[in-house]
Structure formats: C-alpha cells, structure tokens
C-alpha cells in the first residue's frame, strides 16, 4: 500500500524524556497500520504554546511558527503539516491563517525569517493527527485494523479545549463533539455516554501558575468520569493528559479524595487494539496505571 505522506511537527512535549514521550511512542504502530507516514520537519522549534503571548507578543509569536511552516514548505513540499499536539496545531494554524489574511504581517514575518535564511510562501496547510484519522483514513479503515477489541471497557472520552476550539474537527459541534466516542467504539470499547465534562478546560498552562483553580477543574473532570462508570479517561491532548493524570495525587492529598483514574491517549487504545505491545503503546509511561489496558496489551490474542 502506498503510504500517505505528511510533514510531521512533533512539538516539545513529545521529545524523548519529555512529558508526552509516550504519546510519540504510541503513534508509531498506529500510523504504520493505517498507512500514514510522518516525516519529521528538520530542526523544528517550539510553537510558543498558549502562554507565549505574555512575553512574546504578536509578530515574534507568529514568526516562530512561520519558521516551522517554512521548513515544512521547503523540505517536504506538497505535504500537509501535521501535529499531534493541540497547542502546536492551534498556534501553527492560527499563524498560517493570520499570515494569509494580512500581507503586512506576512512581509514582517518574512523579513524576520530571512535572518534564519528562510522564506514562507503560504502554501502549507496545518492539520491535527485526529483530522488525518477522521478525514483521510476514516472510521471504517480504523476499525478494519482491530485484532484485539477492547471489549468490556468503559471509557470516558475527554476532548478538552484546543482539539475542539476554536477550529475543531470539521462537522463536529463545539459543545458535544462525537469523534472521540466514535473512536472508542471503533476499538471495541464502550464510550461513557453523557460524560458532561467532555469539553471542560483542565486549566491548561495555568495548572502551573494557578494550581488550586486548575485542580478544581481536574477534580470535576475525573469525578464525572467515575460517576458515569468509566474505568479510564482517553484524550487527544498532551496537556490534558499530563494535567489530569499528574495532579490527581495532589488533589487526594489536599482534599482527601481517592482519585486514581488512568488517563491515556486515543493512540494508545488504537495501538493495543491493533495488536501492539505494552511498550509500543507507551503504557509503561504512566503514573496511574491503566491496568486493564496493560493486561489486554500483554495478552497473546
């Protein structure tokens, strides 16, 4: 099968030894099975995330993103740029759109890019891996690869903010997007229906600067998953994954709760369902162990 080619923008959190390194691991088998070839953009840089605005300001923020777009355009011509991280995707797509709309900003960005020997023409489309899965691959083909359905698992699909707003996945509603639940069904598990914290904000980057306010959000997100009988949360977002998994022990310590809800990526579900090993699914990268998923991954068939 001829593979689909994409210019891949991994982002800082997916680097080796970083907070979402297990996400990076888990997409390998998934992409292999689905005929997706991710070609890493050479020497890509940080997108500025959602808090780059404070010090960065408009043009410097646009320029760091334009550098990645320009590198993709130059080294991987004709390929859509794809990111697995919502914040990276959002920053890149916003930049591509702003530079497209304003010739003044584009001129400024190119004046700065010249200092790094680059130029951006504006031909690259910035997409998210979930768009590739839903729009290019499709649910039927995602399902066709399942060899180990995750039967008997009830999972809360937590979409969070930035995979969903302001751009989101085409055709989905902002308040109640369905694609993540469909992906859960695709791998043979049951989505926790009526999970009302599906698009609640986890606090984002403010989990660091405003821990108490963010932990209130996180507690709601986890408790609602329990209330709906879920044994696990799945998310497409690196920051959501990290925040919701990591701070449960803090909340327990401060508030006497007993939260211990595993939080994984959709790509980990798919890798296990596609027959990947525990390690290939990055399941050795958790603080709260997704035991049942690990058992399925370790099972022969």
Interface contacts to another protein, rule CB under 8 A: 12-13, 15-22, 43-46, 48-60, 62-64, 67, 108-109, 111-118, 161-162, 165-166, 168, 174, 200-201, 203-206, 208-210, 213-214, 217, 242, 246-247, 249-250, 284-287
Q: Which are the contacts of 71, defined by CB distance < 8 A and separation ≥ 6? A: 41, 42, 43, 44, 118
Q: Cβ 163 to another protein, closest distance in Å?
A: 11
Edge-to-edge strands of the sheet including 190-191? 190-191, 154-157, 232-235, 263-265
Helices 211-227 and 238-246: crossing angle in degrees, nearest 10, is 90
CA 243/CA 215 separation, integer angstroms: 9
Q: Cβ 115 to another protein, closest distance in Å?
A: 4
Question: Closer to another protein at the Cβ: 3 or 114?
Answer: 114
Question: Closer to another protein at the Cβ: 39 or 45?
Answer: 45
Question: Closer to another protein at the Cβ: 34 or 288?
Answer: 288
- Asked if residues 197 and 225 have their Cβ atoms less than 8 Å apart, the reply is yes
Q: Cβ 185 to another protein, closest distance in Å?
A: 26
**Tally: H helices and E strands in the chain:** 14, 8
Q: Cβ 237 to another protein, closest distance in Å?
A: 12
Question: Closer to another protein at the Cβ: 49 or 232?
Answer: 49
Exposed/middle/buried for residue 5 (C-beta within 10 Å: 0-12, 13-18, 19+): middle
Q: Cβ 255 to another protein, closest distance in Å?
A: 15
Question: Closer to another protein at the Cβ: 118 or 189?
Answer: 118
């Amino acid at each position: 099968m001829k593979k689909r080619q994409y210019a891949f923008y991994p982002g800082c959190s997916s680097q080796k030894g970083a907070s979402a390194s297990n996400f990076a691991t888990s997409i390998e088998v998934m992409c292999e099975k689905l005929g997706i070839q991710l070609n890493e953009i050479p020497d890509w840089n940080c997108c500025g995330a959602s808090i780059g605005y404070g010090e960065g300001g408009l043009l410097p923020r646009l320029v760091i993103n334009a550098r990645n777009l320009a590198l993709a355009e130059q080294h991987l011509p004709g390929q859509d740029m794809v990111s697995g991280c919502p914040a990276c995707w959002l920053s890149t797509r916003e930049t591509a759109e702003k530079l497209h709309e304003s010739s003044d900003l584009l001129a400024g960005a190119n004046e700065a890019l010249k200092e790094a020997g680059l130029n951006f023409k504006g031909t690259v489309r910035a997409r998210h891996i979930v768009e590739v899965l839903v729009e290019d691959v499709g649910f039927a083909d995602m399902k066709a690869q399942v060899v180990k359905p995750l039967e008997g698992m009830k999972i809360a699909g937590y979409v969070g903010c930035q995979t969903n707003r302001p751009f989101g996945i085409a055709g989905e509603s902002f308040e109640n997007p369905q694609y993540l639940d469909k992906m859960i069904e695709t791998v043979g598990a049951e989505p926790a229906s009526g999970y009302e914290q599906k698009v609640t904000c986890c606090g984002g980057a403010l989990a660091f600067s405003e821990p108490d306010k963010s932990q209130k959000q996180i507690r709601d997100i986890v408790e609602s998953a329990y209330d709906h009988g879920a044994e696990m949360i799945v998310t497409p977002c690196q920051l959501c994954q990290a925040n919701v998994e990591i701070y449960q022990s803090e909340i327990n310590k401060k508030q006497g709760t007993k939260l211990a809800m595993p939080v994984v990526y959709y790509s980990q579900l798919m890798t296990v369902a596609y027959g990947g090993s525990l390690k290939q699914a990055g399941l050795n990268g958790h603080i709260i162990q997704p035991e049942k998923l690990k058992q399925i991954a370790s099972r022969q068939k």
